[in-house]
Amino acid sequence: MVNICVIGAGYVGLTTAAVLAELGHEVCCIDKDQNKITELNNGKIPIYEPGLSEFIAKNTNRLSFNTNLEEGVKKASIIFICVGTPSLADGKTNLSYVDAVINEIAPCIHSYKTIITKSTVPIGTNEQIYEKLLAKKISPELFNIVSNPEFLREGSAIYDMLHPDKIVVGLRQDDTQSLPIIQEMYSRIQAPYIVTSLNGAEMIKYASNAFLATKISFINEIARICEAFHIDVNDVSKGIGLDPRIGPHFLQAGLGYGGSCFPKDVKSLEQIALSKQIHPLILQAVQTVNDTQIDVYIHKLKTLFPDLHTKKIAVLGIAFKPNTDDTRDSPAERLISRLSQLTCDVCAYDPKAKLSHDQHHVRQVNSLDEAIKGADCVVIATDWDEFKQLDWTEIKKQMNGTIIVDGRNCLNRKEIEQCGLRYVGVGRG
Ligand code: UDX
């Protein structure tokens, strides 16, 4: 058992803190936001993540929440940095939260600390953190910096942290102390270790997200070509995915990728490359396909409805993917904005997520029935399970029109057509 301080109570920080407590460690999770900490201490979890609240409740004897960073850091031998690293307007990464944490923890380092960065940071950042602490006259005997990126998917973050496919540990060249500390801390987690340099670990995280985003943009481009030849892209995904060199995952065509990681990380890696005068052709193409994917659906809708601006469109799904209430960079919200600009009457429904801002002609309703009632067209924008199991005969009765646009290619086309509705996917023949 070790004493751990987790700085940042967002998705990554809360999941990390809850899982480390579950593994038997004494964990204090720190956040500047007093309201959030008060709520957490009252058992209220600020985000929707399946299993997280149960996990936190189960481990309250070992897990505490506080705003007092100094106290948390002094007590702990391991410090996790889990603060946000959002995009700046130019696509580079805003490191101000990480910098602020380093400035705050520096004066509290009086005994040996292993400082672990989980936040996704540009290549070279952990080396800079090390230098920064040395410049603040912290003895190199008193600390080490480790890069230990996370690969958690929202919606299955707890499972992913307990069952990772690998544990990536980036170390400074002369650091012989940290690896056994990390291995001891994670001793109850079974996974292969990838031990590399600090820069190497940072790159694994970026390359991993960029590769997954590339798979999505690739299949979305293939879907556009399939569309022209009346081919079902879902058959193509299945067909190519069975080749173990390709693999079946992240080949679901649709409205494109969103969320707090892919868009930001691909942009950031592009900027990292450009900073070294490397022109990242693939990364740029991946983003172009993603940025124009909504256009493909808007074009479809305009073809189906020449008077689109007069139509009532029910958009099912607001979250950037199912099983989360997160709408950051959500393709569903991008679609809603476009429809709002076209002055359509938009009725949006999501089982968990709320629209992030008010928009003209857009209403969010609390039930699926309300959204569908009188709709000329229903668009599936997020592939929640509940949308895959709809009773289409009932839906047809409530709708004004007959068109179902499957923006996630996740519905059973035959079933919908048998109910007398018209199914429209992208790249589905
Ligand atoms: C991602 C990575 O998977 C995770 O390892 C990393 O730590 C953080 O970023 P997350 O953002 O939670 O996780 O979502 P993910 O499940 O990867 O989906 C990202 C986006 O891609 C979603 O908008 C999703 O709808 C879309 N997607 C995913 C597709 O469009 N097609 C697919 O086949 C898969």
Return the active site residues. 261
Which class does domain 241-424 fall in? Answer: alpha beta
- Atom 21 of ligand 1, residue of closest alpha carbon: 257
Q: What is the distance between the alpha carbons of residues 398 and 400, in angstroms, rounded to a whole number?
A: 7
The pTM is what? 0.96
Tell me the CA–centroid distance for residue 76 and ligand 1, in Å. 33
Beta carbon of 151 within 6 Å of any ligand 1 atom = yes
Tell me the average pLDDT across 248-267.
97
User: Dihedral (C-alpha) 326, 328, 332, 338: value to the nearest 10 degrees?
Assistant: 150
Beta carbon of 11 within 6 Å of any ligand 1 atom = no
**262, 334, 350: which to mutate for ligand 1, most atoms within 8 A of CB?**
262
For 171-228, the pLDDT digits (tens) are 999 999 999 999 999 999 999 999 999 999 999 999 999 999 999 999 999 999 999 9
Tell me the average pLDDT across 304-325.
96
> Cβ(133)–Cβ(117) under 8 Å?
no
Parse the chain into domains and list their residue ranges.
Answer: 3-191, 241-424
Tell me the CA–centroid distance for residue 261 and ligand 1, in Å. 8
Q: What is the distance between the alpha carbons of residues 167 and 23, in angstroms, rounded to a whole number?
A: 15
> Cβ(73)–Cβ(142) under 8 Å?
no
Atom of ligand 1 nearest to the CA of 220: 30
- Fill in the DSSP letter of residue 106: G
**82, 216, 297, 335: which to mutate for ligand 1, most atoms within 8 A of CB?**
216
CATH of domain 3-191: 3.40.50.720
* Longest CA pairwise span in the chain (Å): 73
**pLDDT of 429:** 80
For 33-87, the pLDDT digits (tens) are 999 999 999 999 999 899 999 999 999 999 999 999 999 999 999 999 999 999 9
